[in-house]
Structure 1
Amino acid sequence: MLSTDLGLSSASFLHVPLLDRLAPARDAGFRGLSLTPDDILSLEAQGISAADIGARIRDHGLAIREVDCIGCWLPSHHQAGDDRPMAALLRSLTPERAIEAAARIGAPSVTVVDMMDVTPSLDEAAAAFAWLCDLAARHGLKAHIEFMPFGGIPDLASAWAIVQAANRPNGGLTIDSWHFFRSGSSFDLLATISGDRIHCVQINDAPAQPGADLMAETMSSRLVPGEGSFDLPRFIRTLDATGCTAPVSVEIFSSETASKPMAEVIRHWPGATHAVIQQARNR
């Protein structure tokens, strides 16, 4: 079954320095924290070692969940134009930088995405992901693809095909509820995937009707679990039935996360998420 020791996705609070996120996350009831590569690299540039960063996180009772994300790993990423959204940032998120930073801080895994919308062939994506997994394995890390409906790996079927073709024991999937539902991914397919290939689960909610621009919606209009229209109880039950024991992180991007104090915004997130999980398991 999915772990109920919830983590907080740091990607929702990049405007808050990493060390300032720790107390609010702990006080809200979170037990883990995902990090970005720049969270680690920026503090190292200030003279704080990765070992010290990790120690400060653990001193707050928080586990390091994953480093999110690697954004430049396909050959076609290097050919994508500068007009792509966040192109410069994504090109800096290379496998080497992210994996080495994750290893230094003691993270167990790294998330892999395509947000440049390059639509790779299966052969290209499988070869690139296999190489990335081998690099991660040398550091004792797992790697997991997160599909996104506005990217070149748009749904569960396409991400799972890459993982299967790459055929690496440390390769797997990130399943984000927003991307799962907005991409129209299949519960039937999800039910067939062995839970040990699902390395990370992210949970959130959304209104029934999608926005006209999915990327804009995902970055500004996510809701707290239980406040939207997603069938999260079925989502949780399906993942439980696969034998998935992956950590669950709450990942919510909204105008509220940027406009209000972090401690105020997140204080009810764990309780709301636990209520949804309990509803799924009591049914």
Structure 2
Amino acid sequence: MTGRVVPAGGLERFALNSATTKHWPLPDLVAGCVEAGVTQVGLWREDLVAPGPTGAASLLRDAGLTVTSLCRGGFFTTPDWYDDNRRAIEEAATIGAPELVLVSGGLPPGSRDLDGTRDRITEAIGRLVPDALAAGVRLAIEPLHPMFASDRCAVSTLGQALDMAELFPVAAVGVVVDTYHVWWDPDVWRQIARAADRIACFQLADWITPLPAGVLLGRGLPGTGCVDMARFVRAVDAAGYTGPVEVEVFHEEVWARPGAEVLAEAVEGYRAAMAG
């Protein structure tokens, strides 16, 4: 594919997550999105380091871009989790991100108590609820594939994430539906229907095989793997979700390509999923 500019038509819900173009500096990402007619972006906290949250907010605002989510908060089993998550909430509010994605953390060092870890995560989220409500930022619990349960996220299914979220006000806590992490779950369709207005963020990324050595970096652009993206789109739409659809991909080969080329292919995959 050689096209560098993506027509704006049909992109009303599309959002480029900056993880997909990891080596595209924020000013270049902003310029590339403007050129392509993309009006929404999902950001990571490292994107805010160089310009600072206020500088990033100004850059995005001047370009007419809306932030769909900020990643990440969480890692509730680390010693400084509370202060770091409060800073993350403040950063999200500063850049206008309505959702703060939570990667909740895995087992504490030396622990084998998975149930106890999930209880600890739930308690931590509850402690952050007043801060989130005050800032107007929703905490979005993201379940990760079970292969990450030990070290990155003890929340492995959408059902587990909803069990936690439903303990708190819907304005404060929601869930993330990321196709890469939940496509394998035979109960996911029932859980998406259950989620309804708890869906805070919807992300497309494909599962490619064979997985590379670093499975965390094994995501593919939509349409390059085995996930039925269109079925997920139909399911979240049927649940009443009408919000942004982010493309979020981690893969060294994708990151090595020019940002505008990756953005164009991400749009193609998004359009195919939405049309299916």
TM-based fold match above 0.5: yes
Letter in 2 for 1:203: L
1:143 aligns with 2:139: yes
1:115 CA drift (Å)? 4.1
Cα 1:25–1:182 change in 2 (3 A) is farther
Question: CA RMSD, aligned part only?
Answer: 2.5
Whole-Å separation in 2 of the counterparts to 1:270 and 1:9: 12
1:12 CA drift (Å)? 2.8
Report the 3-state secondary structure (helix = DSSP H, G, I; strand = E; otherwise coil) of the residue aligned with 1:188.
helix
Aligned to 2:159: 157
1:182 CA drift (Å)? 4.2
Aligned to 1:201: 202
Letter in 1 for 2:96: G
The percentage of counterpart residues that share the same residue type is 28
The alignment of Structure 1 onto Structure 2 pairs a total of residues equal to: 254
Q: Tell me, yes or no, if the aligned pair for 2:20 and 2:247 is still in contact at 8 Å.
A: no
Whole-Å separation in 2 of the counterparts to 1:185 and 1:224: 24
Whole-Å separation in 2 of the counterparts to 1:277 and 1:202: 12
1:19 aligns with 2:16: no
Using the size of structure 1 for normalisation, the TM-score is 0.80
Q: Tell me, yes or no, if the aligned pair for 2:177 and 2:203 is still in contact at 8 Å.
A: yes
Aligned to 1:251: 248
1:102 aligns with 2:92: yes
CA distances 1:51-102 after superposition (whole Å, capped 9, x unpaired): x422321333321111110133x2x3329xxxxxxxxxxx699211211111
Report the 3-state secondary structure (helix = DSSP H, G, I; strand = E; otherwise coil) of the residue aligned with 1:34.
strand
1:175 CA drift (Å)? 0.7
Q: Tell me, yes or no, if the aligned pair for 1:5 and 1:30 is still in contact at 8 Å.
A: no
Q: Tell me, yes or no, if the aligned pair for 2:66 and 2:96 is still in contact at 8 Å.
A: no
Whole-Å separation in 2 of the counterparts to 1:38 and 1:255: 18
Q: Tell me, yes or no, if the aligned pair for 1:28 and 1:270 is still in contact at 8 Å.
A: no
1:189 CA drift (Å)? 2.0
Bigger mean CA deviation after superposition, 112-121 or 133-142 = 112-121
Whole-Å separation in 2 of the counterparts to 1:272 and 1:29: 16
Report the 3-state secondary structure (helix = DSSP H, G, I; strand = E; otherwise coil) of the residue aligned with 1:165.
coil
1:200 CA drift (Å)? 0.6
Q: How does 1:121-270 map to 2 (within 5 A)?
A: 121=116, 122-149=118-145, 150=148, 151-167=153-169, 169-182=171-184, 185-194=187-196, 196-207=197-208, 209=209, 211=211, 216-219=214-217, 221-270=218-267
1:6 CA drift (Å)? 0.7
Whole-Å separation in 2 of the counterparts to 1:16 and 1:93: 29
Which runs of 5 or more structure 2 residues have no equivalent in the other structure?
1-10, 109-113
Cα 1:210–1:237 change in 2 (3 A) is farther
Whole-Å separation in 1 of the counterparts to 2:210 and 2:133: 38
1:16 CA drift (Å)? 2.8
1:141 CA drift (Å)? 1.1
Aligned to 2:103: 113
Report the 3-state secondary structure (helix = DSSP H, G, I; strand = E; otherwise coil) of the residue aligned with 1:229.
coil
Whole-Å separation in 1 of the counterparts to 2:219 and 2:211: 11
Which runs of 5 or more structure 1 residues have no equivalent in the other structure?
80-90
Using the size of structure 2 for normalisation, the TM-score is 0.82
Structure 1 residue runs of 4+, over 4 Å off? 182-185
Q: Tell me, yes or no, if the aligned pair for 1:4 and 1:274 is still in contact at 8 Å.
A: no
Cα 1:4–1:204 change in 2 (3 A) is farther
Whole-Å separation in 1 of the counterparts to 2:88 and 2:225: 33
Cα 1:28–1:120 change in 2 (3 A) is farther
Letter in 2 for 1:69: R
Letter in 2 for 1:225: P
Q: Tell me, yes or no, if the aligned pair for 2:22 and 2:255 is still in contact at 8 Å.
A: no
Q: Tell me, yes or no, if the aligned pair for 2:107 and 2:154 is still in contact at 8 Å.
A: yes
Aligned to 2:79: 78
Cα 1:104–1:71 change in 2 (3 A) is same
Bigger mean CA deviation after superposition, 106-115 or 164-173 = 164-173
